[in-house]
C-alpha cells in the first residue's frame, strides 16, 4: 500500500514525515467529508455550534422550529394573546428544558461527526528501577531509567476500514551512561472485503445521530404546538370566567332588585313572605356562584403567571381576545378526506414512525449480513531505529500483508439478533399503521366535533335569544302583577345559563379548530400567534 519507509523519514529532527503520513491517511476522507470532522465544542461554544447543526437538519424539513433559548421580557401594560404565547414559549421552564434536550441531541450529532475525523492518542510513560544482588553480605545494584512516548491517530475510511499511524520511541538509560533512544513508526490498514466492504456500517452511526436530532426537532414541534394550544385555552378560559363573573353580577343585580320589590310588595300585603325568602335564596346562590368564579379566576391567573415564567403574584392584565366563533363556517374549510390526507402527510410523529420502519429495515439487512463469512485485509508497515547514540544507523523494517477469513460455523447469537431485528421491524410497521389509523380517526372525530359544536352554537344562539325574550316577558308580567317572582327568577337563571353555555361552546369550538390546524401542519405560531 505504501513505499518502504527509510530512516531519513523517521529522524526526530525532520517534521515532514508526520505531515506526509497524516496526509496519506486522511486526504481521501477529508476531501469528501470536510465538515464532519468538527470537534466536540467547549461549553461556551456549544450553543452556537448546536444551533448550526440544527439549522443543517432543518434544511430537510423547513417547517421545523428553531429551538432558540432567548428569554423575552414581559414589560409593563396589557398583554395580548400573541405576546402571551411568545413569553410562554421563551420563558416557560418546561419549554426551556425541551429546547435544551434538542440541543443535547445536536451536540451528540456533532460528537458522532467528530468520530469520522482522526481519533488522536498520546501517551508518555517513565519508570526508574533498580536491579540488585547480594553476595557474602555485599550488595550491588544497577539502576535503570526507561521512558516511552507515543503519538498517533486512527482514521475511519469510507469503505468500512480504518488506518492507524503511531509515532513513538523509547529511551533507556543504565546508571549514568548516556541513554539510548529508539524511535519507531507503525502504519497499519484494516479493510473488510465482504458485506459491501462495510460501507453501510461506516455511515450508520452518522445516519442514526442525524435521525435522532431530526426526531428531537419533530417532537419539539409537536410539544410546542400543544403548549401553544394550552396557552390559548388558559388565556381564553380566564377571559370567559371574567365574562361569566360579569354575567353573574348582572344576574345578582337583577336578584337584588327583585328582593327589594318583593319586600315592598310584602309590606303592602301583596306578596307572601315565602316569595321574599325565595328571592333571597336565589340571590344567595348567585353570590355563592360568584365567589366560586372569583376563586377559580384567581387560581387560573396564578397558574397562568407561572406558565409564563413569572411569579404567582404577578399582576397580569390580559387584553380580550375576540374568538372568531361568530363566523360559524370553519367546517367548510375542512373536507374530511383532504384534511386526513394533509394530516397523514404533515404530522411530524408519523414521519418519525416511518423513519423508524426504514431504520429497522436497515438493521434487519445488517443482521442478515452477520450470518455471512468475514474476509478482512490487513496491511502494516513497521520501522524502528535501534539507537541514535553515537550515530548508529541500524534500522529494522517490517512489512506485513495478510487476509483473515472467518467462516460462520456457530451463529446462534447472530440468528437470535436476526430474529430480534425481524420482530422489531414488524412491530415498527404495526406502530406506523396504528398511528396513521389513530390520526385519521382523530381528525375525523375533530371534524365531526367541529360540525356538532357549530350546530350547537346555532341552536344556542336561538336559546339565548329566547331566554332573553323570556326574561323580558317575565319582567313585564311581574311589573304588571301578572306573574310571581318565581317565574322571573327562573327566566333570569335560564338567561344566565344560556349565556354561560354559549361561552363554553365558543371556547370548545375554537380549541377544536386549533387542534385540526395543528394536525394538518398549518398552525401558525412564528413570528407571532395567528388564529
Tens of each residue's pLDDT in the chain, 531 residues: 333 333 233 333 333 333 434 444 444 444 344 444 445 556 667 888 889 999 999 998 888 999 988 888 887 788 888 889 989 999 999 999 999 999 999 999 998 888 888 889 899 888 888 887 877 778 788 888 888 889 999 998 888 889 999 998 888 878 777 767 788 899 999 888 887 777 777 888 888 999 999 999 999 999 999 999 999 999 999 999 999 999 888 888 877 877 777 777 677 776 677 777 877 887 888 889 899 999 999 999 999 999 888 888 888 888 888 887 545 556 667 888 899 999 999 999 999 999 999 999 999 998 888 888 888 888 898 887 766 555 556 777 888 999 988 888 888 888 999 999 999 999 999 999 999 999 999 999 999 898 888 888 888 889 989 988 988 888 787 777 666 667 777 888 888 889 889 889 989 988 998 999 899 888 887 654 544
Rounded Cα distance, 266 and 279, in Å: 12
Grid cell, residue 225, equals 404546538
Contacts for 136 with CB less than 8 Å, ≥ 6 apart: none
Grid cell, residue 47, equals 450553543
Q: What is the pLDDT of residue 39?
A: 52
Antiparallel, parallel or unpaired: β 138-156 and 119-135? antiparallel
| Cα R_g (the chain), whole angstroms | 39
Residue 356's CB is within 10 A of a number of other CB atoms, namely 19
The residue written with cell numbers 394533509 in the block is: 342
* DSSP three-state, residue 402: strand
Residue pair 304/235 in contact (Cβ under 8 Å)? The answer is yes
Beta bridge partners of 148: 125, 170
Cα angle 198, 200, 201 (rounded to 5 degrees) comes to 65
Q: What is the pLDDT of residue 104?
A: 92
Cα angle 94, 95, 96 (rounded to 5 degrees) comes to 90
Q: Is the peptide bond before 527 cis (omega within 30 degrees of 0)?
A: yes
Residue pair 55/35 in contact (Cβ under 8 Å)? The answer is no
Grid cell, residue 480, equals 304588571
* Angle between helix 199-268 and 93-114 (nearest 10): 180
Cα angle 63, 68, 70 (rounded to 5 degrees) comes to 140
Residue 83's CB is within 10 A of a number of other CB atoms, namely 19
Q: CA separation (Å) from 507 to 6, 229, 325, 366, 449? A: 83, 12, 8, 52, 13
Residue pair 120/150 in contact (Cβ under 8 Å)? The answer is no
Rounded Cα distance, 494 and 500, in Å: 10
Q: Tell me the pTM.
A: 0.79
The residue written with cell numbers 404530522 in the block is: 347
Amino acid at each position: 500500500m505504501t513505499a518502504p519507509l527509510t530512516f531519513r523519514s523517521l529522524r526526530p529532527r525532520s517534521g515532514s514525515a508526520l505531515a506526509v503520513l497524516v496526509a496519506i491517511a486522511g486526504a481521501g476522507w477529508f476531501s469528501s467529508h470536510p465538515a464532519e470532522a468538527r470537534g466536540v465544542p467547549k461549553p461556551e461554544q456549544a450553543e452556537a455550534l448546536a444551533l448550526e447543526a440544527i439549522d443543517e437538519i432543518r434544511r430537510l424539513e423547513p417547517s421545523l422550529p428553531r429551538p432558540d433559548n432567548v428569554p423575552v421580557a414581559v414589560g409593563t401594560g396589557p398583554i395580548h394573546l400573541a405576546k402571551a404565547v411568545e413569553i410562554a414559549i421563551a420563558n416557560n421552564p418546561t419549554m426551556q428544558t425541551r429546547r435544551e434536550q434538542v440541543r443535547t441531541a445536536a451536540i451528540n450529532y456533532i460528537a458522532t461527526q467528530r468520530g469520522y475525523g482522526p481519533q488522536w492518542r498520546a501517551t508518555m510513560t517513565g519508570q526508574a528501577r533498580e536491579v540488585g544482588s547480594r553476595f557474602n553480605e555485599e550488595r550491588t545494584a544497577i539502576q535503570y531509567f526507561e521512558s516511552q512516548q507515543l503519538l498517533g491517530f486512527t482514521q475511519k475510511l469510507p469503505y468500512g476500514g480504518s488506518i492507524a499511524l503511531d509515532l513513538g520511541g523509547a529511551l533507556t538509560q543504565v546508571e549514568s551512561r548516556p541513554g539510548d533512544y529508539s524511535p519507531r513508526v507503525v502504519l497499519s490498514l484494516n479493510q473488510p472485503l465482504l458485506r459491501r466492504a462495510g460501507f453501510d456500517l461506516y455511515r450508520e452511526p452518522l445516519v442514526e445521530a442525524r435521525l435522532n436530532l431530526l426526531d428531537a426537532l419533530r417532537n419539539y414541534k409537536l410539544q410546542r404546538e400543544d403548549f401553544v394550544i394550552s396557552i390559548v385555552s388558559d388565556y381564553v378560559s380566564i377571559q370567559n370566567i371574567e365574562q361569566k363573573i360579569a354575567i353573574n353580577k348582572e344576574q345578582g343585580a337583577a336578584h337584588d332588585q327583585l328582593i327589594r320589590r318583593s319586600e315592598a310588595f310584602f309590606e303592602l300585603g301583596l306578596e307572601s313572605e315565602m316569595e321574599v325568602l325565595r328571592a333571597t335564596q336565589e340571590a344567595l346562590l348567585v353570590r355563592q356562584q360568584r365567589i366560586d368564579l372569583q376563586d377559580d379566576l384567581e387560581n387560573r391567573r396564578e397558574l397562568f403567571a407561572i406558565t409564563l415564567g413569572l411569579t404567582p403574584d404577578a399582576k397580569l392584565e390580559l387584553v380580550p381576545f375576540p374568538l372568531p366563533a361568530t363566523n360559524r363556517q370553519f367546517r367548510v374549510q375542512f373536507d374530511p378526506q383532504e384534511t386526513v390526507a394533509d394530516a397523514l402527510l404533515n404530522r411530524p410523529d408519523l414521519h418519525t414512525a416511518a423513519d423508524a420502519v426504514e431504520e429497522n429495515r436497515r438493521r434487519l439487512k445488517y443482521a442478515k449480513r452477520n450470518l455471512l463469512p468475514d474476509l478482512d485485509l490487513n496491511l502494516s508497515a513497521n520501522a524502528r531505529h535501534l539507537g541514535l547514540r553515537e550515530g548508529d544507523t541500524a534500522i529494522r523494517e517490517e512489512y506485513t500483508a495478510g487476509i483473515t477469513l472467518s467462516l460462520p460455523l456457530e451463529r446462534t447469537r447472530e440468528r437470535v439478533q436476526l430474529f430480534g431485528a425481524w420482530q422489531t421491524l414488524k412491530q415498527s410497521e404495526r406502530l406506523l399503521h396504528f398511528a396513521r389509523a389513530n390520526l385519521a380517526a382523530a381528525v375525523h372525530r375533530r371534524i365531526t366535533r367541529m360540525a356538532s359544536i357549530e350546530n350547537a352554537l346555532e341552536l344556542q344562539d336561538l336559546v339565548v335569544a329566547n331566554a332573553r325574550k323570556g326574561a323580558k316577558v317575565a319582567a313585564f308580567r311581574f311589573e304588571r302583577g301578572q306573574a310571581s317572582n318565581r317565574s322571573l327568577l327562573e327566566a333570569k337563571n335560564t338567561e344566565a345559563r344560556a349565556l354561560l353555555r354559549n361561552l363554553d361552546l365558543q371556547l370548545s369550538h375554537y380549541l377544536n379548530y386549533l387542534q385540526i390546524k395543528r394536525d394538518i401542519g398549518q398552525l401558525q405560531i412564528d413570528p407571532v400567534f395567528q388564529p
